[in-house]
A and B are shown apart, each in its own frame.
Chain A
Amino acid sequence: MLTAIHDSILMWLFGGVLCLLVILTVIGRALKRRNSSNISRSTIDNFNAQIAAWWKMCLVFMLSLVLGRIGSLVLFGILSFLALREYLTLVPTRRGDHRTLFWSFFVIMPLQYCVLGFQWYIVFAIMIPVLACIFIPTSIAVAGDTAHFLERAAKIQFGLMVCGYCLSHAPALLLLKIPGFEGHDARLLLYLGIVDQMNDLLQYFWGKLIGRHKIAWRVSPDKTWEGCLGGLVSATALGTLLWWATPFTPLQSAGISFIICILGFSGGLVMSAIKRDIGIKDFGAVVERHGGILDRIDSLCFAAPIFFHLVRYYFAR
């Protein structure tokens, strides 16, 4: 993957991201210092926290370029592990789930990344949706506690799906073999990250600017129809403009960006609903030092597997 350094298009794309981040960081600092009256303090702090998170995401991406294929898998494997840890810390489980949880952390999750490393595609695709889906309820049943049985099995299964299965499709992009695009797979990962995260930012931006009608105020008070559509249109436009870095035509790029944006929105909304259900505002708010990974990857989780399968089905060999 070190060949990625010599991929000038990738470097342009990544350089662009870094420039944008520098600009946003400067704006964030300036806002914090001036603290003008029409923007609230918490909005500015929120904005700065988001920028800090993007720097970390850039660091993860850069590390995965430097570390190569195996290194990237290990890196994303660790991210999955930490995300699952955060999820299960806050989602109540029972004493009888202990061994099932142990298996989830130390067997199922590492296996998911191992089969990906061996490019054993079929097993990669069925590991959590099929095999874990059979294993988890069986293992809880063996433990003998039947109270809230279905609920407990579902909670653990969903955690593995989101933190393990879905997230593992992001590094899986690096293993795709697309004719005429060999050695450039890292661009796909960056493309996904840019469109998805810009969608988040633009939704927020449009929402603050012209947002009036709430979509689901009970779940996420920040999400408005205006913000969502504005973000969707502008992030899709941005994705379309990045077609030159991908194996897609401009029209295909528009379609794919559109899908990424829709999925990014639904990922964010679903994770908000879970947080509401548990009774917290952010996953990171309760477990400060370690927390916040789930808050950052929520929109990516749903977009990654669909993006991967679309590209694999239509473009890969």
Chain B
Amino acid sequence: MSDGIHPIASLLAAVARGITGVQVQWAGCEPDVRQRIYFANHTSHLDFVVLWSALPSEIRAHTRPIAAKDYWEETPLRHYLAENVFKAVLVERGATSRTKSHDETKFVGRSLIEDMSAALGDRNSLILFPEGTRGSGEKVGEFRGGLYHIALRRPDVELVPAHLENMNRILPKGEYLPVPMLSLLTFGKPIQVEPHENKDAFLERARDAVSSLRRIGPA
């Protein structure tokens, strides 16, 4: 990954901040250049750009999104944005435990963790949406396993939960014109895998860490 931020990325970040008027709150930790994986709920295409733009620029320059290969390689524009502008790490989607056969899950999962670990290197941070797809925004969906495996693989990296609010109302899935409502972004207290904690328990706890950061009450 070459250093520096692509000018189009900076431009898009500024536009996204303007549209969403995002209010950032570091509730559980402070911005830090140390290696982290920010994991958040996912309801809108704006999620990544907004989260990324909320980071101070020296952190932003070394923070890359994890994005689904099947979606972001579909058209040349998407591919260009993902690859060149945001320097995304394109991966096969991790599976939820129910959707794929056991062997296939294992295989995809392993290459996913390899890719993520390589992308982290020794100085980068990642932004991950463990739900794997955009939800409706009513509640945070079930997390896929990648977060757990990368946490085991790289215990040196801090896992920071983040909650994005109202993004599904600004630009929901399937719409292409944004409505300029205000949004909130809250960073929570870092979590880690406890000794003897199994995958499902950890993922459930990670999901709670995200959804407990909600600030406007449920509609």
Contacts and interface: CB of A to CB of B under 8 A. Distances in A.
B182 A92 contact: no
Contacts, number: 44
Nearest to A287: B182
A179 interface: no
A85 B184 CA distance: 14
Contact of B216 (A90, A102, A290): A90
B172 interface: yes
- Interface footprint category on B: 10 to 19
A145 to B, nearest CB: 12
Interface string B189-219: 0000000000000000000000000011101
A289 B166 contact: no
Nearest to B25: A288
Interface residues of A, number: 20
A92 B219 contact: yes
A81 to B, nearest CB: 8
Nearest to B173: A95
B21 interface: yes
Q: Is the interface of A mostly helix, strand, loop or mixed?
A: helix
Given A286-B215, A286-B216, A85 B181 contact: yes
B219 A102 contact: no
Contacts of A245: none
B180 interface: yes
B179 A98 contact: yes
A139 interface: no
B70 interface: no
A89 B179 contact: no
Contact of B177 (A93, A102, A291): A102
Interface of A: 85-86, 88-90, 92-93, 95, 98-99, 101-102, 105, 279, 286-291
